[in-house]
Structure 1
Amino acid sequence: MRIDVLGAVRALHDDGSPVDLGGPRHREVLARLVAAEGRMVTTDTFVHDLWADPPARAVGALRTFVAALRRALEPDRPPRNPPRIIVTEGPGYALCLPREDVDVHRFQDTLARARRNAAVVNDLGTVLAAWRGPAYADVTGSAWAQRERTRLEELRLEGVELRARILLGSGEGADLVAGLGAHVDEHPWREPAWELLARALYRAGRQADALAALRRARSMLVDQLGLDPGAGLQRLETDMLNGSACLEGARTAWTGPGVRLGPRTTVDVARTLALAGGDALVRSRRDRFAAVRAAERTGDLSLTARIIGAYDVPAVWSRADDPEQSRAVVAAAERTLTGLGLDGPADLRARLLATIAVESRSADLSATELKRAQQAARQAEELARDLADPALLVFALNGVFLQSFGSPGLAVARDRTGAEILDLATRHELPNFAVLGRLVRLQSASALGDLESAASHAIAADQLAATAEAPLVSVLTRWFRARAMAARSTEPGGPTAASAAAHYRAAEGALRAAGMPGLHRGLFPLALLGLRLLHDRPAPTDPHLDWGPYRPWTEPLVLLAQGRGEQARAALAAVPESPRDHMQEAMWCLTARAAVRLGERGIAAHAAAVLRGAGAEHAGAASGMLTLGPVARYLAEAEACARAG
């Protein structure tokens, strides 16, 4: 089964033959389910979206449309067997098809991958070519469809321009001229389109035509809108007139002792790549470390400090993606800091200290290393405040945030840090750190169980990420929405636990492709365990689940679910102290739950003592990505166990 909505709404069987969907209302019901992207659409929403003035029997008519669609989409389904494509879910319906079987979902997913990884540019060309016309073209007169058409058209234009940008960046481009010429004719107010056309003409050896295109863009903007061209178009025209080497893709790079820190150095490129995620993130780490080592070989301490401190990429997770490299960067920063001495430039010292704080977030830090990292965070913040440098201060506050997991129950303090990051970044136009501030506040609100505030931060983060070109953000906010659904699955009338699990699974698929190895391993099984605990069910026992770094804390409960009590007791005795990170409350709650189930009063008492300061928070929810439920529940059980006997 395949469903297409990029054009008129249609459904096709596996052999390519069309499905008779029925009349316009039937197609609109199917289209509205596609637009929900697997989420449930309530009956009330359907009635509101399908009729401006709903008739008295609107709900009955909707059920008739759904029944007819089910027969059309699953003609061979035996009687009394539940439908598999349009399913009833709570007070509404949901479409259950793999995303690759729906053209609009396939397009959006490919575009998201292309933002992260230029290597999928051919796939992007394929999905762009599959557009048959405006999205939901035959769903007319519906406000929801018009909103979706507008949104998807903007994404299509972005895709056209992203594909051109990638191809131009890889040395191609002469054959893009015709397509980009048509693109600017159709959308003459899109300055990025004019810039791409001019670059393609220049690449084709048509410098005069490239300059003429820029002058045409200028004329249209000035004469018809009264606006000057943006900085990008102006800079491109200057570069063309001056024959700048950057038009041929040249970049300043590290080549040895004679290197210089130019406007587009390796570390600057690495910082840009890091924000893209995926394979680009791996390349970013490699290029960043190569730049640091090359800088150290020059023997120039100030230059080395600038290179190390220039990688001020916002970091929201308390585990490093590459712990070994993080330790190497910290060591280089400490060597450089020692060389500069206390009399060294305050701004360089602050950046080095902030780098130490940000990079020192591995789970295996010794007590001495942890103390040094926390001191570095405080010193960087003090220096940055004295210098009154907002960009430096938000970087230092990023280190403060990452070093604020010293004990359970500090969500309120982290929220204050996130609020200051957001305020500084907003006032001083630092979009990447504005995204960080939103995510920190999302995590803090999630930890405190304030899902309404967390949801508003998620929406704002997604909006900021769209303009800051930070595709990893949507991966994190998708996890938050799955976490919120899991919490609501315990409420009367809420989604089913199975629906919450499906959303976790979908979020896991996006995370695996995002290039964040310090984050994804073990997260999905832990989310499923949390969901089961919310519903008072035993731990999942699927042997294929990869518990990753969380195995020591989850294993006692898994063994108990398998009926292996003595092995569970031995595993509980071997459980280490929880690392001081986003998941520490969750790990302590798992320890408490296992101790209670096994009657281990001493371990229960210890877990209760550690958790006492986190009684107002939700276990695991500081991640913003999953929840085990209120800490207070586990704390009360552990305290009761400790008092027993």
Structure 2
Amino acid sequence: MRVEFGVLGAVTAWNGAGEALRLKGPRHRAVLARLIVARRRVVPVAVLAEDLWAEPPGNAVGSLRTFVGDLRRALEPDRLPRTPPRLLITEGSGYVLRVPKEDVDAWRFEQAVASLAEAGPARVAEGLGEALGWWRGPAFADFADFGDERWLRSERSRLTELRLQAIERRADARIALGRAAEAVPDLDALVTDHPWREDAWRLLALALYRSGRQADALSVLRRARDMLRDQLGVDPGPRLRRLEEDVLRQADHLDPDAGASVDRVWAQATAAYESTLGSRARTRLESTVGLMRDLAVTGGGGLEAARRHRVAAVAAAEQLDDPELTARVIGVYDVPAVWTRSDDPEQARWLVDSAERTLRSLTPGRHDAARSRLLATVAVESRGTLPVDEPASGAPARPLQAARQAEEIARRLDDAALLAFALNGTFMQSFWRAGLAARRDAIGTEIVALSAHHGLVRYEVLGRLIRIQARCALADLAAADRHASAVGVLADRHELPLASVFTTWYRALRTATTGSREAAEDAYEEAAGSLRGAGMPGLERGLLPLARLCVRLRHEAPPTGVDENADWGPYEPWVRPLLLAEGGRTEEAGAALRAISSPPRDLMFEALWCLIARAAVAVGDRDMMARAHTQLVPASTEVAGAGSGLITLGPVAEQLAALEKALR
């Protein structure tokens, strides 16, 4: 049964029905409070005794064991005798409270505040309003007797400061939304209880002014000035002084509607940008590509516009004959990419050529960061272009070489954002043979860790999407589920709608793996809907027919129902022989098999080789069966197609067994 803990007020705990649990006396609650403050770290018994008693009694250890035993019975009343506790655990010479972060109100409050760090006013006002509602009183309100203890004093002060900041941020957001009057009561109470907080005074005066109460705003500012001088002996800070001057002269920017409209803020910002930069072409180019980078993750129309304007910006930079500028304009567009087929192959080739020209033009021995970004661009934009056969010279193909060089430079420079971009290129070129899901999982793991540590949200989403793909290929759907859930949270919090396309398709793959044929087909129909208007033709074309075919093959359904004339997109050459063979057109199927080349080395590599293998077995083409076997052997422990995170044809081992049987 779930147990939730509260310290934002009196220390308490509730069961899953929301009923308060009986925690006995103050020492019991003190033990619980001390373990919560430890944040899932072990607190040795000796430390507990020192923190709970100014002079620990001789029986302190025995008393603590009694308190812990009582707490365990209160927290887990249904636990059977001799069954290990689930929440309050003995570890070594101490105790630890093992609970999820969301089950302690203080931890949940911190997460909520942190998650809104970059949010707009509407989300801040709503999110902080909910989070502040979790406070039932002062933190650890029932521990006045322990107020001088360092462990409690510092934690209480930290939480109190976080709450005060949240009240100020919520008030600021309400003012920005044109709801200044709503902010006044909370701010008035805040300056009464905490009169040294200048920002609270400033916000209160601004809220009053924007509520049409100019005289009250001036009165508040004068009260703040008098209080600061009389009680603290300091003059008001520059922001308070400037606000008083602005109120007296009724400055235009204090207009009550100034912050009420996102559209107005945008218009004012773009107008300021236009008037400030004028004809400064170089700065405008770099800024434009930065804007395109942000636009690319907003959805279909934004992604298509970003691609179009990016090419124009790069072409304009090259016309200025400034390689350093061109390098910056190309490199700043570090939009994470997870799908291994280009949406616009011709544009991708043009960008690769431009990046290569710029690399040759840069002064040797300089501009390492720019070189790394250009090389990463080559690797990312060359997705799916590795040669189907290894070069006779044995040298790595240029895209693979570029990816390795970009990563080496980024690691040497110790630049987190640069390394994340370089690892994206490494991922795009990690398909030089079948069976590399574990390698891609390691890349995704590093991207997630790097991004989470440095606040690179979009790359954290990329890393988790890569891990969804890899864990699917390795038949670890439980891990894939966790990453899909994390992607959903990040995408909602940071407004990244394109991420949901991949999680929707993953859910369809999961249904295809564990559900009925009908359920799988319905799930893929829904997934196909998420692609409409998403601006990703490299992903969309041919995917739904391919998914339907894979479902039918997984359930060993008859060939009826497959539309041979559907738009199979880029998969058509490798699907056609199987469709012909299952339609009884054996000679045509054999001819189609002999005419095709090896599939592209990308996320669909193993899946397409499995389709080729099925067709080869159906028509008795031993040469093609042998080729398919050679290509698929390195992936013998993986799930065919599942590395895409979109479709599945079942274990590669099953296809290898069918090939081996046919080749006997």
Q: TM-score range by the shorter chain?
A: 0.5 to 0.7
Computed over aligned residues only, the root mean square deviation of the Cα atoms, in angstroms, reads 4.1
Residue 626 of structure 1 and its aligned partner are, at CA, apart by 0.9
Residue 273 of structure 1 and its aligned partner are, at CA, apart by 0.9
Give the alignment of 1:441-452 within 5 angstroms. 441-452=467-478
Cα contact 1:408–1:613 (8 A) shared by 2: yes
CA distance in 1, matches of 2:583, 2:198: 69
Match of 2:566 in 1: 545
Cα contact 1:257–1:297 (8 A) shared by 2: no
Cα contact 1:414–1:444 (8 A) shared by 2: yes
* Alignment match of 1:277 (pick from 276, 280, 299): 299
Match of 2:368 in 1: 346
Residue 468 of structure 1 and its aligned partner are, at CA, apart by 2.3
Match of 2:423 in 1: 397
CA distance in 1, matches of 2:191, 2:443: 44
Matched, 1:479 2:501: no
Query: What is the letter of the counterpart of residue 565 of structure 1?
Result: T
Cα contact 1:381–1:393 (8 A) shared by 2: yes
Match of 1:417 in 2: 443
CA distance in 2, matches of 1:544, 1:217: 66
* Alignment match of 2:485 (pick from 446, 449, 459): 459
| Residues 229-257 of structure 1 deviation map (CA, whole Å, 9 limit, x = unaligned) | 9xxx99xx999579999725337579998
Kindly, what percent of the aligned residue pairs are identical? 47
Query: What is the letter of the counterpart of residue 413 of structure 1?
Result: R
Match of 2:575 in 1: 554
| Residues 6-59 of structure 1 deviation map (CA, whole Å, 9 limit, x = unaligned) | xxxxxxxxxxxxxxxxxxxxxxxxxxxxxxxxxxxxxxxxxxx9xx9xxxxxxx
| Structure 2, gaps ≥5 residues long | 1-15, 20-111, 133-165, 201-205, 207-238, 247-251, 259-264
* Alignment match of 2:458 (pick from 432, 454, 457): 432
SS at match of 1:265: helix
Deviates more, 1:180-189 or 1:297-306: 180-189
Cα contact 2:286–2:328 (8 A) shared by 1: no
Give the alignment of 1:107-506 within 5 angstroms. 240=253, 247-250=268-271, 252=273, 258-261=280-283, 265-363=287-385, 371-489=397-515, 496-506=516-526
Residue 193 of structure 1 and its aligned partner are, at CA, apart by 8.6
Give the alignment of 1:505-520 within 5 angstroms. 505-520=525-540
CA distance in 1, matches of 2:500, 2:295: 17
CA distance in 1, matches of 2:126, 2:529: 36
CA distance in 1, matches of 2:188, 2:347: 51
Cα contact 1:252–1:262 (8 A) shared by 2: no
Residue 640 of structure 1 and its aligned partner are, at CA, apart by 2.2
Cα contact 1:222–1:228 (8 A) shared by 2: no
Match of 2:627 in 1: 606
| Structure 1, gaps ≥5 residues long | 1-48, 53-153, 166-179, 202-208, 490-495
SS at match of 1:318: coil
Query: What is the letter of the counterpart of residue 380 of structure 2?
Result: V
Query: What is the letter of the counterpart of residue 291 of structure 1?
Result: A
Structure ID, larger Rg: 2
TM-score normalised by length of structure 1: 0.63
Match of 2:72 in 1: none
Distance 1:523 1:349, change over 3 A: same
Query: What is the letter of the counterpart of residue 482 of structure 1?
Result: A
Residue 187 of structure 1 and its aligned partner are, at CA, apart by 11
Residue 570 of structure 1 and its aligned partner are, at CA, apart by 1.8
| Residues 59-92 of structure 1 deviation map (CA, whole Å, 9 limit, x = unaligned) | xxxxxxxxxxxxxxxxxxxxxxxxxxxxxxxxxx
Give the alignment of 1:87-98 within 5 angstroms. none
Matched, 1:618 2:639: yes
SS at match of 1:260: helix
Match of 2:617 in 1: 596
TM-score normalised by length of structure 2: 0.61
Cα contact 2:336–2:459 (8 A) shared by 1: yes
Residue 513 of structure 1 and its aligned partner are, at CA, apart by 2.7
Residue 575 of structure 1 and its aligned partner are, at CA, apart by 2.2
Query: What is the letter of the counterpart of residue 535 of structure 1?
Result: H
CA distance in 2, matches of 1:603, 1:629: 21
Cα contact 1:421–1:434 (8 A) shared by 2: yes
CA distance in 1, matches of 2:346, 2:314: 15
CA distance in 1, matches of 2:129, 2:411: 50
CA distance in 2, matches of 1:181, 1:623: 39
CA distance in 1, matches of 2:633, 2:341: 24
CA distance in 2, matches of 1:629, 1:182: 45
Distance 1:185 1:519, change over 3 A: closer
Distance 1:564 1:396, change over 3 A: same
CA distance in 2, matches of 1:463, 1:216: 33
Distance 1:384 1:487, change over 3 A: same
Cα contact 1:258–1:298 (8 A) shared by 2: no
Residue 567 of structure 1 and its aligned partner are, at CA, apart by 1.8
Query: What is the letter of the counterpart of residue 523 of structure 1?
Result: L
CA distance in 1, matches of 2:126, 2:489: 29
CA distance in 2, matches of 1:638, 1:415: 28
Cα contact 2:352–2:377 (8 A) shared by 1: yes
Cα contact 2:469–2:644 (8 A) shared by 1: yes
Number of aligned pairs?
A: 456
